[in-house]
Amino acid sequence: MQPPSAPILVLDNGAHIIKAAWAHPGSGPSATPPPVQTFRNTIARSKPAKRSFVADELTDECDDFGGLTFRVPMERGILNNWEVEKTVWDRVFGHRGRGLKLSPQETNLLVTEPVFNLPNVQEHYDQMIFEDYDFASYLRCPAPALIPYGADARGDPHYPTPPPECVLVIDAGFSFTHVVPVLRGAIVSHAAKRIDVGGKLLTNYLKELVSFRHWYMMDQTAVMEHAKEQACYVSTRWEDDWEAANRPTNPIVRTFVLPDFTPGSKNKLGYVRTGLTPPPPSPPSPDPSAPPTLPQQQKDAEEEQLLHLCNERFTVPEVLFNPTTIDLNQAGLAETVALAIAALPQEVQGMFWANIVCIGGSTQFPGFAERLRNDLRTFAPTEFDIRVTLSSAPTLSAAASAAAHLSAPAPSHFSPPLQPNALVTRQEYQEGGSNACRRKFARFYTKGAEDEVRRRALAPGWP
């Protein structure tokens, strides 16, 4: 098969946000990463507005985020509501709003899937892509397999170096956190690990804490998700922060101003207050008997609903590093990384310790990378260096990396699985069905015993 000349749409189909970027094969290297568009992967129903918001409509047209009811296509990270997904994709691919305005018959598609996707779900992907949308060609692979082709793994924003052979990808996403070794562009399946903690669980945990201690917020998912993103952080000194949070003069507490849903208000999701400047004194009233008037800024401040976040700021992200705090009997992030690397051939373990890349929305908490480095040092052998790279755009990294590589593949001493000619054409699907996809997409995985992985790791020119 000849490499496609038409543009390739890279669609990172996340459970929370869809990321879309265009690759133009043969266009040459670019000094800047390709632009990435984002769409919410949901249908949200608003009672006050008496309408539903699909994909970009939620962020562009919704004025009241209170009490939204969400219909999502994925349950526990696996796509199981195809009716909702097709409605969202129709909006993403279509001509309304910020839709991509594409013609599927003239477009090649790369779409991501979960790391441990189910075979019947994979077949449904194939059917929807070719039978419902009729794309020209298509490739399906997990998002972590795309990270070695980006600037975060290569260490340079201009992509001059070949993809590294060994990358350990930490994908802290919406539904799960995956720790995935990628060896010469292929996922080492038996060493990939999963923690049942993601952004959704952390938001729900924050909702429970706040509802028990302060305001009832169980039906304010969008607001509390925003509060989590704005106020929470990963503690690098847990005992010190816990002690500080219990002092009379508390340096940990932050005030989150809840949204104002009155018409015309710009405060749609709330914000963290950084301090209120004392207003100037109001001019004297011309009528001495009239009560003094308050400046408008002070009036607004008194009418605000405030949420004081204290130890919730660091106890919520702590679940990633210590799931037992919520009675989840699983290893924390650092221990899971150590278990994943220990399952690899001893000859390559040092290279994985030295090239850890973090992606996903839950890696954006302040202090995440520093805490992970500190915790990993207790598990890593002393002779190995530890290098943890936090992606410059954690939620966009997979789509941007794939689009940049497909537009201008960097020279490499091995043949990376991600190539324009790796796509399955419409004709190949019509002749072989999902079996054609299964055969071609298998290059993104290594399976079997450790001896087989060692052979592939050490053999030149693999795969």
pLDDT in tens, 5-24: 678 899 999 999 999 999 88
| Cα angle value 361/363/367 (rounded, 5°) | 140
pLDDT greater at residue 186 or residue 159? 186
Does the pLDDT of residue 460 top 60, yes or no? no
Return the minimum-mean-pLDDT range out of 66-70, 200-204, 332-336, 339-343.
Answer: 66-70
Average pLDDT over residues 233-248: 89
What is the predicted pLDDT for the residue at 268? 81
Average pLDDT over residues 432-459: 73
Does the pLDDT of residue 275 top 70, yes or no? no
pLDDT greater at residue 408 or residue 446? 446
Percent of the chain with pLDDT over 90: 44
Query: Residue for token digits 């689009």?
Result: 403
Average pLDDT over residues 212-218: 88
Does the pLDDT of residue 262 top 80, yes or no? no
pLDDT greater at residue 119 or residue 25? 119
Closest CA to 188 of 448, 365, 433, 434: 448
Does the pLDDT of residue 170 top 80, yes or no? yes
Residue 229: pLDDT band by 50, 70, 90 thresholds? very high
Domains 8-143+395-458 and 201-315 share a fold: no
Dihedral angle, C-alpha 130, 133, 137, 143, nearest 10 °: -100
What is the predicted pLDDT for the residue at 75? 87
Query: What is the distance between the alpha carbons of residues 155 and 163, in angstroms, rounded to a whole number?
Result: 10
What is the predicted pLDDT for the residue at 412? 56
Give the three-class secondary structure for 142: strand
Average pLDDT over residues 155-160: 55
Instruction: Identify whether the C-beta of residue 222 lies closer than 8 Å to the C-beta of residue 68.
Output: yes
Domain residue ranges in the chain: 8-143+395-458, 201-315
Summarised one tens digit per residue, pLDDT across range 326-345 is 999 999 999 999 999 999 99
- The per-residue pLDDT of the chain, averaged, comes to 84
Quote the DSSP letter at residue 350: H
What is the predicted pLDDT for the residue at 409? 65
Say which CATH class 201-315 falls into.
alpha beta
Buried residues in 164-185 as b, exposed as e (16+ CB within 10 A):
bbbbbbbbbbbbbbbbbbbbbb
Query: Residue for token digits 């104002």?
Result: 260
Return the minimum-mean-pLDDT range out of 106-115, 362-371, 453-462.
Answer: 453-462
Does the pLDDT of residue 325 top 60, yes or no? yes
Does the pLDDT of residue 215 top 90, yes or no? no
Highest mean pLDDT among 113-117, 158-162, 366-370, 437-441: 366-370
What is the predicted pLDDT for the residue at 25? 76
| Bridging pattern class, strands 69-71 and 43-46 | antiparallel
Query: What is the distance between the alpha carbons of residues 189 and 180, in angstroms, rounded to a whole number?
Result: 8
Residue 51: pLDDT band by 50, 70, 90 thresholds? confident
What is the predicted pLDDT for the residue at 150? 82
Does the pLDDT of residue 407 top 60, yes or no? yes
Q: Which residues contact 190 (CB under 8 A, 6 or more apart)?
A: 343, 447, 448, 453
The DSSP bridge partners found for residue 23 are 8
What is the predicted pLDDT for the residue at 128? 93
- What are the structure tokens assigned to 118, written together? 């189910």
Query: What is the distance between the alpha carbons of residues 337 and 321, in angstroms, rounded to a whole number?
Result: 11
Does the pLDDT of residue 172 top 90, yes or no? yes
Does the pLDDT of residue 152 top 50, yes or no? yes
What is the predicted pLDDT for the residue at 250? 83
Percent of the chain with pLDDT over 70: 83
Does the pLDDT of residue 358 top 80, yes or no? yes
Distances in Å between the Cα of 101 and the Cα atoms of 34, 91, 93, 96, 251 are: 18, 9, 6, 8, 50
pLDDT greater at residue 455 or residue 402? 402
Sheet arrangement for strand 108-113: 37-40, 17-23, 8-13, 108-113, 137-142, 424-425
Domain spanning 8-143+395-458 has what CATH number?
3.30.420.40
Q: How far is CA 418 from the centre of its chain?
A: 21
What is the predicted pLDDT for the residue at 156? 56
- What are the structure tokens assigned to 371, written together? 């805490």
What is the predicted pLDDT for the residue at 64? 81
For the question of whether the overall pTM of this predicted structure is more than 0.95, the answer is no
- Ramachandran bin of 251, using left for φ above 0, alpha for ψ from -120 to 50, beta for the remaining angles: alpha
Amino acid at 227: A
Query: What is the distance between the alpha carbons of residues 219 and 286, in angstroms, rounded to a whole number?
Result: 47
Return the minimum-mean-pLDDT range out of 116-130, 368-382, 397-411, 428-442.
Answer: 397-411
pLDDT greater at residue 413 or residue 136? 136
Spell out the alpha helix ranges (H) of 248-367: 296-303, 312-315, 318-321, 333-342, 346-353
What is the predicted pLDDT for the residue at 447? 64
Average pLDDT over residues 68-96: 90
Average pLDDT over residues 121-137: 92
pLDDT greater at residue 213 or residue 413? 213
pLDDT greater at residue 398 or residue 48? 398
Query: What is the distance between the alpha carbons of residues 148 and 159, in angstroms, rounded to a whole number?
Result: 11
Instruction: Identify whether the C-beta of residue 135 lies closer than 8 Å to the C-beta of residue 108.
Output: yes
What is the predicted pLDDT for the residue at 123? 92
Query: What is the distance between the alpha carbons of residues 422 and 463, in angstroms, rounded to a whole number?
Result: 13
Query: What is the distance between the alpha carbons of residues 144 and 261, in angstroms, rounded to a whole number?
Result: 39
